[in-house]
Structure 1
Amino acid sequence: MAFLDDFPNDENGDVLRRMRDSGDNLSIARDIDFTVVFVSRDDVQKFGDHFHELGYRISAEKSGTVEDFPWDVVVVKNMVPTHGAITAFEAELQSVATPLGGRNDGWGCFEQ
C-alpha cells in the first residue's frame, strides 16, 4: 500500500508518487528530460551553451507551448529519479535560467 507521506507534498512528490504507484521502479537510473522555457533565442543559446559545456545533451525548439515563453530547451540528465536529486537539478537549472529570463517548465521520463 502506498503512503501519502513517503514523498513531500509538492509537485515533484506528486509526480514521483504517481510513477511509483503505476509500477515504475524508481531505483533505476534513466534519462530525465528537464524543460526550461525562454522568451528569446539569444537566451536559449546562452543557457544551452552553459549546460552543453557541462556535458549534458541539449535540444531547443520554438514550440510556443507556454504563452509568453515560446522557446523550449530540454536538458537531459541520466539519474535515479529521487525527489532530492530532481529538486536539486531543477534549482541548478533555475539559477542559470533566471538571469536570462527563463523558468523551469517541468520534467519527464520513460517508465522503468
Structure 2
Amino acid sequence: MKFPNDADGDALRSLYNDGVNFKRPQSVEFFVAVPDKATGEKLSQVLKEEGFNSFLDQDDETDEWTCSCSKKMLLNYSELIKIQKKLDELSKPHGGYSDGWGVFVD
C-alpha cells in the first residue's frame, strides 16, 4: 500500500506495517491544542455540536491544554486530512489548532 511522504502518510505507513486492519473502522483520536482551560471548554462544546466525541485534557508535565476528539472511521489519508482541516477551521476562532491524531491499537 502506498502513502504520501508527509507526517500523516508516515503514521499510516507505520500502522499498516504494524498490521492494523485498514478495512475495519478504527477509533481515531484527533488533538486540538488550545491556549487555556476556558477556551478549551468552549471549543469542546463546539466540537460536540459538530458530531465529535470531545473532552478537554491538561498535560501534567507541560500544563498545556488539548481538546481530544475521537471518531470511529476507516484509516484513509484523504479523510484524515479533511477532518484535520475542519478541526483547524473550527478551532482557529478560539485560538486553537489541529495538533495531530493517533489510533489506539489493540
**Do both share a fold (TM > 0.5)?**
yes
Task: Determine the structure 2 residue equivalent to 1:27.
Answer: 23
- Distance between the aligned counterparts of 2:88 and 2:22, measured in 1? 24
Verify: 1:11 aligned to 2:7, yes or no.
yes
Aligned CA distance change for structure 1 residues 110 and 62 (closer, same or farther; 3 Å): closer
| Percent identity of paired positions between Structure 1 and Structure 2 | 25
Per-residue deviation, 1:54: 2.5
Partner SS, residue 9 of structure 1 = coil
Letter in 2 for 1:104: S
Partner SS, residue 85 of structure 1 = helix
Where does structure 1 differ by over 6 angstroms across 4 or more consecutive aligned residues?
A: none
Task: Determine the structure 1 residue equivalent to 2:59.
Answer: 63
* Structure 2, gaps ≥5 residues long: none
- Distance between the aligned counterparts of 2:60 and 2:42, measured in 1? 19
Task: Determine the structure 1 residue equivalent to 2:85.
Answer: 91
Deviations 1:18-39 (A, max 9, x none): 1111111112102111011111
Partner SS, residue 21 of structure 2 = coil
Deviations 1:2-59 (A, max 9, x none): 6xxx111111000001111111111210211101111122221221111112232111
* Structure 1, gaps ≥5 residues long: none
Deviates more, 1:48-57 or 1:71-80: 48-57
How many residue pairs end up in the alignment?
106
Q: TM-score, normalised by structure 2?
A: 0.88
> Which of residues 34, 39, 55 in structure 1 aligns to 2:35?
39
- Distance between the aligned counterparts of 1:22 and 1:73, measured in 2? 27
Q: TM-score, normalised by structure 1?
A: 0.84
Partner SS, residue 59 of structure 2 = strand
Q: Greater CA radius of gyration, 1 or 2?
A: 1
Letter in 1 for 2:59: S
Q: Please give the root-mean-square deviation of Cα atoms over the aligned residues, in Å.
A: 1.8
